[in-house]
Amino acid sequence: MINLISNKLIYRPIKQIFDFISTPENDFQWQYGILKSAKVSEGILGVGTLFDTIGHFMGRRIQGTFEVTEYEPNKKYGFKSLSGPLHSQTLYTFELAGGATRINVSTQASATNLFQAEEGVLEKKMKKQLKEDLTLLKEILEHGNKRAEVEPNSVLQPSNGDRRS
């Protein structure tokens, strides 16, 4: 079992950060490897809402369906995988920290046979990616920098501003 825990201070209001993170359609902007993510359930976002994600990880194209498991506006947002190469559960919590918002992230994951890598290698890659994702999230929310949207079948080409190529 892989256990990831991280946090990041972002100098923006909790509501702005919560709304951005809890909107699946924003995932491609700040989560490396995500090409497209979209809510597939009808109605407003909340516990039980489903969303699909298409992306790539460790050289493989991946698709997954996720279910929102926790949703308390401006406090916590959690989801678990229902399909895909990683069985995972993630929880974001939000709290005031001086003039900033602290985002706490915890993820528990286990790999399916698709990832034949040793779990330690997979965990190391996931930790690095989580740290990079939170750094990009901070940059986007504090400075307005965004990645360009990409069609799910297109080939990603790093832009001059993409420091994670």
Digit-coded pLDDT (tens) for 51-101: 999 998 777 788 999 999 999 999 999 999 998 888 899 999 999 998 999
Distance CA 51, CA 136 (A): 22
The number of domains in the chain is 1
Contact 1, 123 (CB under 8 A): no
In a domain, 152, yes or no: no
In a domain, 157, yes or no: no
SS (H, E, C) 57-69: ECCEEEEEEEEEE
Average pLDDT in the chain: 85
In a domain, 69, yes or no: yes
* pLDDT for 153: 38
In a domain, 165, yes or no: no
In a domain, 45, yes or no: yes
Range of the domain at 64: 2-143
In a domain, 23, yes or no: yes
In a domain, 162, yes or no: no
- 123: amino acid identity, one letter: E
In a domain, 150, yes or no: no
pTM here is 0.83
Distance CA 136, CA 33 (A): 13
Beta carbons within 10 angstroms of residue 88's beta carbon: 19
Find the CATH number of the domain harbouring 88: 3.30.530.20
